[in-house]
Amino acid sequence: MRASGFKPHLHACTVLLNALVKDKLTDMVWKVYKKMVKVGVVANVHVFNVLIHACCKSGDAEKAEKFLTEMELDGVFPDLFTFNTLISLYCKKGMHYEALSVQDRMETAGISPDIVTYNSLIYAYSREGRMREAMMLFKEIKDAVPNNVTYTTLIDGYCRLNDLESALSLRYSMADKGIYPTVVTYNSILRKLCEGGRIRDANKLLTELGERNIEPDNVTCNTLINAYCKIGDMASALKVKDKMIGAGLKLDQFTYKALIHGFCKARDMKCAKEYLFSMLSAGFPPSYCTYSWFVDVHCVHQKEEEIIKLPDEFVRKGLCVDVSLYRALIRRFCKREKVDCAKKIFGLMKEKGISGDSVIYTSLAYAQWKSGNVSVASDLLDEMYKRRLMITLKLYRSFCASFAGDDKILGLFWSHVVDRNLMSKNTLKDLQ
């Protein structure tokens, strides 16, 4: 088109940009826009709205503000969609003050907010726990009708502040207005009931959900499963799990984690392992926290040898054994000052041809240092240096948080680490 001397049509450019945004090809959006400007295509409000929407998708508030400034300099006036997108972006980024300030700009521009605007602003207040202001804005809504999103946002806000009474009052109020709760509304209330140990009331709410023909989702089921696991009622937790599968829902990472934790608390390690293996087979990698529960239970019952054999059980089940399993076990044994167990796992790991990472070496070195084996700790740090395994800022902060009560010992250890050049200049600079 350009070779023939034709300038691209503005509408065609807008359609192209919009398609790129939908496909999340943000970098391509900026390239196309630059080419548009270069060939003399003058952007209108629709083009700028697409660009700001792209910023919203990518979470780039700074770029969105630049486009807004560019609009104003080009004499293009923002419309309702522009302001709503900006508010949504600010809320997404947790920039609630900026989101609320957009309302003033709208008034200055003579643009009346719609229910989308109000919902976003109410969300901003609710997320900050400013329910008084959220309710004031709710009562001030004009030329718009509060909808399900409005009420659900307010209900969730009250639940987050532990004000279940106000949340329930709003639920009845929305029903009076002919607006019925969705599963998202119920999930907020259900979560708060379960957190307060009100399982009976939670089940009543679940019955009501069924009477309204509202299908529970993963969040609903996981909330109940987690609540039952916390009180040790594994039979009820498994019943909910079975209903979940019967409803066509799939167990997710949270489901497995809750059930594993529940069985570990109940000291039923056979079932805990079964769900651990199922979790891995389903493609969900367990976290350090999940493996820690296994280590803790076995240590309490002085059955450390059983958990040391866990990698072999993985192999027998046909599961992949990688460094993440060894890392988690070594970290937890070191945390519990079971240095001999950590050393055994480290030896087994090396026998399998798996190389340790910075977390493993640092955990072992600090455990040895803390137990008085300074020379062994130094050897481990020397090996780290030879393998160019550096201690990152993230690892440093994680250790400081994990061993918060060891200030004096930890301080000496870090000095030893710095002397061995195991922290980069940038990391040391960030620590100053």
Write out pLDDT tens, residues 226-280: 999 999 999 999 999 999 999 999 999 999 999 999 999 999 999 999 999 999 9
The string over 282-311, giving b where at least 16 C-beta atoms fall within 10 Å of a residue's C-beta and e elsewhere, is eebebeeebbbbbbebbbeeeebeebbebb
Q: Give the residue from 111, 141, 156 where a domain finishes.
A: 111
CATH number where 52 lies = 1.25.40.10
pLDDT at 334 over 60: yes
Tokens of 280: 């891995």
DSSP 36-87: HHHTTPPP-HHHHHHHHHHHHHHT-HHHHHHHHHHHHHTTPPP-HHHHHHHH
- Range among 39-48, 220-229, 418-427 with highest mean pLDDT value: 220-229
Handedness of CA 331, 333, 338, 343 (dihedral sign): negative
Local structure of residue 40 (DSSP, 8 states): T
Q: Within the chain, what is the greatest distance between any pair of CA atoms?
A: 82
Distance CA 155, CA 55 (A): 29
Over residues 143-191, the pLDDT tens digits come to: 889 999 999 999 999 999 999 999 999 999 998 899 989 999 999 999 9
Q: Report if residue 172 sits inside a domain.
A: no
Q: What is the mean pLDDT of residues 350-374?
A: 95
> Does residue 323 contact residue 356 with C-beta atoms inside 8 Å?
yes
Predicted confidence at residue 7, as pLDDT, reads: 62
Tokens of 362: 């640092």
Number of domains in the chain: 2
If pLDDT is split at 50, 70 and 90, which confidence band does 1 have?
very low
Q: Report if residue 17 sits inside a domain.
A: yes
Q: Report if residue 29 sits inside a domain.
A: yes
Least confident of 13-17, 295-299, 384-388: 13-17
pLDDT at 4 over 60: no
Q: Report if residue 84 sits inside a domain.
A: yes
Q: What is the mean pLDDT of residues 19-36?
A: 82
Distance CA 112, CA 114 (A): 7
Q: Give the residue from 79, 111, 143 where a domain finishes.
A: 111
Q: Where are the alpha helices (DSSP H) in 5-44?
A: 10-22, 26-38
Predicted confidence at residue 6, as pLDDT, reads: 53
Distance CA 254, CA 279 (A): 10
The string over 19-33, giving b where at least 16 C-beta atoms fall within 10 Å of a residue's C-beta and e elsewhere, is ebbeeeebebbbeeb
Distance CA 378, CA 369 (A): 8
Q: Give the residue from 78, 111, 144 where a domain finishes.
A: 111
Q: What is the mean pLDDT of residues 20-24?
A: 82
CA atoms within 13 A on the CB side of 112: 7
Q: Report if residue 350 sits inside a domain.
A: no
Q: What is the mean pLDDT of residues 331-356?
A: 95
Domain carrying residue 68: 1-111
Distance CA 95, CA 56 (A): 13
Q: Report if residue 237 sits inside a domain.
A: no
Distance CA 76, CA 328 (A): 56
Predicted confidence at residue 96, as pLDDT, reads: 77
Q: Report if residue 138 sits inside a domain.
A: no
Distance CA 21, CA 99 (A): 22
Predicted confidence at residue 151, as pLDDT, reads: 96
